[in-house]
């Protein structure tokens, strides 16, 4: 019997993963560089942690608090369970505990890199994506939260989001806990009681923008059935308790002072709630002193953040301009960043309270927003392709490219089969090259090179006027010794 042919592997990505090519990687790196510069100016230091952590260190603080330790890519190794990090905050908590005797306190750090979620992929939802975080560990004052909010505003503007196209919405989980206490959903003497119902309420509030008031009311009560027929169990609140929660979400007023007054009335009788309102007032005053008014930062009770570890102020950056969705409908772009205070996270390792607060930017979301506004986050540096007219003179062509690179220009030598010059031009076009350098035997004998301006050639092909053609000829001849100066002049035009 003849051996079966060896099955070739399929050239395809695993589900939920994607590849990033040149321009995307360049744009992302440039945008993150501008954000990092903002963080550095605020005194934050970079931190890189491994992509892999122990499952014990990662803990159970996943977006779906009902499924601890699920949603991660994990495996067992010599008795220990390891997992790919699902965010950049859990590794920071481990670092803060592990190096607590060596790090300054407060410790300000920023981190950028991929994270992984073992969740069902969907349109625009990938299992690997980039995050960009900034956190302060060891500062109990809400001045640290105000600093994070101000820095987030500066980071968005540095990335290319114009003032007026975003708003940072701020709330406080203590205020929400006060509301839950008034509604009978939280007993300070027995916090574990009704924890499941509180989880449903938190997730319902967090979905107000998507589900609307009616959808949230349904989730606060018996439950909600969506358009597909799927049923989501509700919190089962009595009507009067549901009204307290709905009043909390409707507390936002035209001014921050009015919003604070409404919140203070809602949490009357709750010491925790009153403390949260005081903290919101302080944050608003600190931001106002830095020139961040209601046009950029607003107190908004509808912001609760889904993660269970938040203990105080929470914030979310929302882009306010409209985009067209897949069905042609106009809608606001939505959230691109969020975070808050998590004073209990490091305590898991140390047994001691360690205050912490921070924010995470969704890198892919922010890049998509910049493209939606017609702004390229970064233009790639123009590329010069040195063509090969005589393979025996490869050293000469390599020398040209080296001279261009030494001058800070981006250059490469064509390394395919040089026999067909047309293929070299097609290659240069496909690479998006700005210029092509040509030196055949005739040019070499005369000590000159031909510099083909591919961008000008494309413009002429597209119907540029005679005046444009004269002002920028598609090809020029230059002395070999003037190669670098001529190329620099053309690219500087």
Q: DSSP alpha helices (H): ranges in 374-464?
A: 394-406, 421-430, 441-446, 454-461
Confidence of residue 469 (pLDDT cuts 50, 70, 90): very low
**pLDDT confidence of residue 316:** 94
pLDDT at residue 64 greater than cutoff 80: no
Distance, C-alpha 105 to centroid of its chain: 27
202-206, 381-385, 388-392: range with lowest mean pLDDT: 202-206
Q: How far apart are CA 464 and CA 293, in angstroms?
A: 48
pLDDT at residue 450 greater than cutoff 90: yes
How far apart are the two ends of the chain, measured CA to CA in Å?
Answer: 70
**pLDDT confidence of residue 470:** 46
**pLDDT confidence of residue 65:** 40
Residue 465, φ and ψ in degrees, nearest 5: -75, 165
Strand partners, 453: 435
Q: Report, in this order, helix, strand and coil percent for the chain, each rounded to 5.
A: 40, 20, 40
94-98, 122-126, 296-300, 468-472: range with lowest mean pLDDT: 468-472
Q: Quote the percentage of the chain above a pLDDT of 70.
A: 91
Q: How far apart are CA 46 and CA 352, in angstroms?
A: 25
pLDDT at residue 300 greater than cutoff 70: yes
**308 or 479, which is more confident:** 479
CATH 3.40.50.800 maps onto the chain at 383-492
| Long-range contacts (CB closer than 8 Å, 24 or more residues apart) made by 403-408 | 403/483, 403/484, 404/483, 404/484, 404/487, 407/484, 407/488
**pLDDT confidence of residue 189:** 83
Average pLDDT over residues 278-289: 93
Confidence of residue 322 (pLDDT cuts 50, 70, 90): confident
Residue-wise pLDDT tens digits, 211-270 = 888 888 888 888 888 888 788 888 888 888 888 888 888 888 888 888 989 999 889 889
pLDDT at residue 376 greater than cutoff 90: no
- Sheet containing 80-84: order of strands: 52-54, 80-84, 74-77
**278 or 471, which is more confident:** 278
Cα angle: 168, vertex 111, 14; to 5 degrees: 100
Confidence of residue 66 (pLDDT cuts 50, 70, 90): very low
**pLDDT confidence of residue 321:** 86
Residue-wise pLDDT tens digits, 135-186 = 999 999 999 999 999 999 999 999 999 999 999 999 999 998 898 888 888 8
Element (H, E) at 147: helix 143-159
**438 or 214, which is more confident:** 438
CATH superfamily of 22-372: Bira Bifunctional Protein; Domain 2 (3.30.930.10)
CATH 3.30.930.10 maps onto the chain at 22-372
Strand partners, 176: none
Confidence of residue 443 (pLDDT cuts 50, 70, 90): very high
Contact by Cβ (8 Å): 286, 143: yes
269-283, 312-326, 403-417: range with lowest mean pLDDT: 312-326
Please provide the size of the chain in residues: 493
**pLDDT confidence of residue 336:** 93
CATH superfamily of 383-492: Anticodon-binding domain (3.40.50.800)
Residue-wise pLDDT tens digits, 10-23 = 999 999 889 988 88
Q: How far apart are CA 313 and CA 438, in angstroms?
A: 62
pLDDT at residue 462 greater than cutoff 60: no
pLDDT at residue 456 greater than cutoff 70: no
Q: What is the pTM of this model?
A: 0.80
**pLDDT confidence of residue 245:** 85
148-162, 180-194, 361-375, 451-465: range with lowest mean pLDDT: 451-465
Q: How far apart are CA 184 and CA 40, in angstroms?
A: 45
Q: Quote the percentage of the chain above a pLDDT of 90.
A: 51
């Amino acid at each position: 019997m003849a051996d079966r042919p060896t099955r070739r592997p399929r050239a395809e990505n695993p589900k939920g993963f994607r590849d990033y090519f040149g321009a995307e990687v360049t744009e992302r790196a440039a945008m993150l560089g501008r954000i990092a510069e903002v963080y550095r100016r605020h005194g934050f230091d970079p931190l890189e942690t491994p992509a892999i952590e122990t499952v014990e260190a990662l803990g159970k603080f996943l977006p779906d608090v009902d499924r601890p330790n699920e949603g991660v890519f994990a495996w067992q190794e010599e008795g220990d369970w390891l997992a790919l990090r699902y965010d950049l905050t859990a590794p920071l908590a481990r670092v803060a505990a592990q190096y607590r005797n060596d790090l300054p306190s407060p410790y300000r750090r920023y981190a950028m890199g991929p994270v992984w979620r073992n969740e069902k992929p969907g349109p625009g939802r990938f299992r690997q994506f980039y995050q960009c975080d900034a956190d302060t560990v060891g500062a109990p004052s809400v001045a640290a939260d105000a600093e994070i909010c101000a820095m987030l505003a500066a980071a968005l503007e540095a990335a290319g989001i114009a003032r007026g196209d975003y708003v940072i919405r701020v709330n406080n989980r203590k205020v929400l806990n006060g509301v839950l206490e008034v509604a009978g959903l939280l007993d300070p003497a027995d916090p574990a009681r009704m924890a499941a119902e509180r989880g449903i309420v938190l997730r319902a509030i967090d979905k107000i923008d998507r589900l609307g008031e009616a959808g949230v009311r349904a989730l606060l009560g018996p439950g909600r059935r969506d358009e597909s027929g799927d049923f989501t169990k509700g919190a089962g609140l009595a009507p009067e308790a549901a009204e307290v929660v709905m009043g909390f979400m409707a507390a936002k007023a035209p001014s921050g002072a009015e919003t604070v007054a409404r919140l203070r009335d809602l949490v009357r009788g709750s010491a925790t709630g009153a403390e949260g309102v005081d903290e919101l007032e302080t944050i608003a005053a600190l931001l106002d002193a830095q020139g961040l008014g209601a046009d950029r930062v607003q107190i908004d009770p509808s912001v609760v953040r889904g993660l269970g570890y938040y203990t105080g102020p929470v914030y979310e950056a929302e882009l306010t301009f409209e985009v067209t969705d897949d069905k042609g409908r106009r809608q606001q772009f939505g959230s691109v960043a969020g975070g808050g205070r998590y004073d209990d996270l490091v305590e898991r390792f140390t047994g001691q309270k360690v205050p912490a607060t921070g924010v995470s930017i969704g890198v892919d979301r922010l890049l998509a927003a910049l493209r939606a506004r017609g702004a390229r986050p970064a233009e790639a540096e123009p590329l010069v392709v040195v063509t090969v007219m005589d393979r025996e003179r490869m050293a000469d062509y390599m020398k040209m490219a080296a001279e261009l690179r030494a001058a800070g220009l981006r250059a490469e030598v064509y390394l395919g089969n040089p026999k067909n010059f047309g293929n070299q031009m097609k290659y240069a076009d496909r690479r998006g090259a700005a210029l092509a350098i040509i030196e055949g035997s005739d040019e070499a004998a005369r000590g000159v090179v031909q510099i083909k301006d591919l961008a000008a050639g494309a413009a002429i092909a597209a119907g540029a006027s005679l005046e444009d053609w004269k002002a920028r000829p598609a090809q020029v001849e230059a002395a070999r010794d003037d190669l670098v100066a001529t190329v620099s002049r053309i690219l500087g035009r």
